[in-house]
Structure 1
Amino acid sequence: MTAFDLNQAQTDLQGKNPRAILKAALAGFDNIAISFSGAEDVVLIDMALQIRKDIQVFSLDTGRLHPETYRFIEQVRKHYGLEIELLTPDREVLDRLVKSKGLFSFYEDGHTECCGIRKVEPLRRKLATLDAWITGQRKDQSLDTRGDIPEVQEDAGFSGAGKRLIKFNPLLNWSSAQVWDYIEAYQVPFNDLHRHGYISIGCEPCTRPVLPNQHERAGRWWWEDAAKKECGLHAGNINK
């Protein structure tokens, strides 16, 4: 495989459709994986399997997901005949948090510490084994923090000394409506919670349904500042 030219890729992929970005990502890297949790990510899986059958998929199992989300993960696994690697928190670190602060410390201290243990650290371990990853980020999920991210970038949050990690965001310019149009047209599996007012779905204690005309991220960490709706997975590459 020839060396990946990030600057050229950013130029070539700017404004391109998701399939074109996915095709470039899967052609450019063998050691690449799709991060799966929600509706956007299953759209990416559906598209990616039309390009390459041996895709790698992982999902974060925080231990606090809704029962519907666990069933959704299994539904996707069976529907596509995929192996989905579940990433779990470090047990000892998690034990220390729970013993010292209980199960719901995030309502008092904010979600950063808990997300760091349950999400960011397991993701960091996984990304250290990859050359590139694919996410379902969209600009309109949060114009305050995601408005300027490109279709492909060096992942500033997870690249390390001597190791560059490339991140692809194929759905960057799609709207939520476009995602759901695809899901309906191609009969893509989706989380049953979407039928009950949930749009952006995270851990059970930190997610609630949104009201009509509320932004999709309004149901996440609703007790905190509305401008801080990030768990840390993409924090190294967003506007502050």
Structure 2
Amino acid sequence: MNLPKAISLLKIISGEIDDFFNTTTQITVARSTDVYDFARRKEAIRKEFPTAALFGHFLKTMHQQGILRQIIGNCNVDVSNPKFYQWRFYRKEAKAPTELHSESVRPSAKYFKSARNIATNDGGAVRSHQEQYIYNRLLEEDGLKFYYERPFDIKGYNKIPDFTILVHQSKTVYHWEHFGMIEDPDYELYAEKKIQWYIDNGYRFLENGGRFIVTYYRNDTALENDVDRILKLIKAF
């Protein structure tokens, strides 16, 4: 497929994603199969992608070529399984990012500790071995200051991201949410609603040039690769 045709198809898909979310206020996150089932009403989509598998393969190819997010920015992809990418599409951001304001790292009196029993290398404690790995990796990085479960307030709402990271050189603040039980349907719904809250409040994914980081646990190797990739990205901006 030539590039102009691919871009034309991506623009059609982007419009279909917008229409999909405009048809309901109940759904906040769509998977690739949801988008395909909705978009195949378009003749161009049906003709080019007669099956959901071909549709998914197209998205994967466009992502690998660095084209997809130039057209469809309101998505996140889990690439921990190279043979089976998992897509999540969200409503487009309607507000400008607010992560850089000083209140992003301001503590809140509403916060209290509970159930931290996994020791970190600096004598602290976190809630899971996955968070322990992320925490200890952050400790090893020069030029970063980070907080674990440090609350911040935005528009009257109190939020407690897993990690808040300040990059000294750029003075950029990142918020990182890690989801470790994504196979649990109830937990996955919780994760999707949490991600949508950030998007509704103007945050963009790190991969889209924003300062919101999301990771999902699949296995230890995938987590290590994700952390490597994320640390390179935040230090490159």
More strand by share: 2
TM category, shorter: under 0.3
Larger relative contact order (Cα-Cα within 8 Å, sequence gap ≥ 6): 1
TM-score by length of structure 2 reads: 0.26
TM-score by length of structure 1 reads: 0.26
